[in-house]
Amino acid sequence: METNKDSSSYSTAFIDEVGPENITKLPFVFATEEQKEKDGFNTQVASTLGNILAAASSTWGSEKAKKVSDAIFETVNGGGDYKNPNNYLAIQEQETKQLVALNYILGHHDADGNHVNDLRFGTDFLVSLAEDLATIDPEIIETNRLNAKFSGDKGYAVLYDKGYSFNPMGGVLDAMGGNVDAALKYLAPNGKDGSVNASRVEALSKYDWSWDPAGFAGFTAAVASASSKRASTVDNPSGGASESERARQLAGVAVHEIAANVSEYNPSKRSWQQSGNAVVYSDDAKASLGTLLANCAPELTQAWNGGSAVDPSTGKKLPEATVADFNALAYRVADSQDAAATIGASLAKHATGKSAEQIERFQGNKDAQLAQINEAYSRGSAALNHFTAIADVKADAINEQLKEDTSVRSANAAAALTGFTAVASGGLSTPFQTDASLATTTLTSPLVTNEIFGTKKVESTMGANPDEQMWAYAVRDAANAGLTTSPWKIVSNTRGLPQTVTVSTESIYQRHLRRI
């Protein structure tokens, strides 16, 4: 089974032979008593079944996908013989265990540690299964989870102790993190009138995730995945909204609803001081929400330059999203270096793209081109600096000994700058010429006031001089656009870091591009 788990022909035959109604039972059937007490079930079998289900479902049509998903659903929906309460409770407990196993089968596939499910389950299968699982009352499952906590059955209690997801949507949403088509189809389908229906995003945001951080991470994975479709160029042949428009509307609703409804659990506060649905934001959840924000780079740049959640290029506002929503989500994920680097990289990509766009737009007008290059990087740097200040505020809240350990404060700010640098510095190795008057972009750290975060005003403590970085990127774009005449060249200093050195007879000027 393990050897052939990724073979679609083997996997299809395996599921047909075993029967989809037995998939969630196998991790228990093939578990020793020791495994049950340690993990609740055989996690290796569950993981392998995930590969098998992914390989098989990728070949199914919509009819077969629904047939299999319906059969699996019947094994986890908490049903039973209502005429026999004792039998019903026993079946309910067993199917709750199987639901947890299903979440493990669908999720828990991130061997490369990039916070995204490694498997690609079939689109129709995931959507059909999600529609089924959404009918399960999560409050009933929460009750069953509490029953597990206090159960004398060690194999049941350990499911709680391990922090596995009991939420019926946890695993299938996590799996959608690896299938952007399924994520968009489920979370933002076209309405009958051609509109975009993002009501599922709103409903899922209003779940009480406080008791299931793993399930919340699955939700954020699906949202991040679907939001990546903003870059799609695929139109709807039936005349409805395009993929990019559906993803745009989903992103706006997700930013607002998650910011408004899913507060972050604060370990320094007592339980009665937490909001009713405060949840622990795991590393996976933070990375996914960082991706969501990154996929809103045009609006993020505008918002963090004193504007609103609008894309200046189109004039369209992200539905529901506000600057306050951006700030709130950025604050919650700012202590994740993965999220910080992703956001920084997206701001850089937007700035470099905007610079290139304006160079093309103002062909033949050198002064306008130079002005637009500076504008693009000035706005990008301002947005980046806004985020790094938020990262410092978050670090301040976490580290009470901040003044004695500034490295903690600057670590995530540096991660954001590293992400920006990695993208914006692309192409800098080409020798270029310039005598253009390029204004050095000025990065004044924004003052994040206590009205927003309840803290004192702070300034960013990024570990490199961002003015020099932005100036060099602007020079690079001007050079590549042929706006230069004086000789420059790229050399390496004694540490092997690239630096630009002018050989003009009038003056000598150099800038280092630090690789953080």
Instruction: Give tens-digit pLDDT for 293-315.
Output: 999 999 999 999 888 999 988 99
Q: How far apart are CA 97 and CA 85, in angstroms?
A: 18
Asked if residue 77 belongs to a domain, the reply is yes
Residue 99 corresponds to which tokens in the numbers above? 């639901």
Nearest in space to 146 (alpha carbons), one of 156, 137, 136: 156
Is 162 in the same domain as 192? no
**pLDDT value of residue 306:** 84
Q: Flag whether 319 is in a domain.
A: yes
Are residue 147 and residue 199 in the same domain, yes or no? Answer: no
pLDDT in tens, 336-360: 889 988 998 889 888 888 888 888 8
Q: Answer whether 335's CB lies under 8 Å from 266's CB.
A: no
Domain membership of residue 110 (yes or no) is yes
Judgement on whether residues 104 and 203 belong to the same structural domain of the protein: no
Residues 147 and 260 grouped into a single domain:
no
Q: Which of 331, 357, 388 is the last residue of a domain?
A: 331
Q: What residue type is 305 in one-letter code?
A: N
* Higher per-residue confidence, 379 vs 225: 225
- Does residue 368 sit within a domain? yes
Question: Number of folded domains in the chain?
Answer: 3
**What is the 8-class DSSP label of residue 491?**
E
The whole-angstrom separation of Cα 226 and Cα 416 is 23
Same domain membership, residue 258 and residue 397: no
Based on the fold, state whether residues 158 and 190 are members of the same structural domain.
no
Same domain, yes or no, for 263 and 292? yes
CB 222 within 8 A of CB 187: yes
Whether residue 172 is contained in a domain is answered as no
Q: Would you say residue 294 lies in a domain? A: yes
- For residue 270, the model assigns a pLDDT of 76
What separation in angstroms does the CA of 392 have from each of 335, 414, 429, 482?
9, 10, 32, 39
Q: Record the tokens describing residue 17, joined without a space.
A: 């032979």
Mark whether 21 and 151 lie in a shared domain: yes
433 and 296 part of one domain: no
Task: For residues 51 and 191, state if they share a domain.
Answer: no
pLDDT at 429 (0 to 100): 31
* Residue finishing a domain among 303, 331, 359: 331
Contact 476, 376 (CB under 8 A): no
- Degrees to nearest 5, angle at CA 282 with 281 and 288: 85
pLDDT of residue 228: 94
Say what the pLDDT of residue 260 is.
94
Q: Where are the alpha helices (DSSP H) in 242-365?
A: 243-261, 283-294, 297-303, 323-333, 337-361
Within-domain flag for 355: yes
Give the single-character DSSP code of 501.
E
The residue from 310, 331, 352 where one domain ends is 331
434, two tokens: 């310039």
**Residue type present at position 348:** A
Residue 201 covered by a domain: yes
Each residue of 385-431: pLDDT tens digit?
888 888 877 876 666 534 445 555 556 666 666 666 666 555 333 32
Pair (392, 504) in one structural domain: yes
Q: Inform me whether the pLDDT recorded for 36 exceeds 80.
A: yes
How would you write 44-95 as a 3-class SS string? Answer: HHHHHHHHHHHHHHCCCCHHHHHHHHHHHHCCCCCCCCCCCHHHHHHHHHHH
* Digit-coded pLDDT (tens) for 429-472: 332 223 333 333 333 333 333 334 444 444 444 444 444 455 44
Residues 142 and 182 in one domain: no
End-to-end Cα spacing for the chain: 45
Q: What percent of the chain has pLDDT over 70?
A: 75
For residue 430, the enclosing domain spans: 334-516
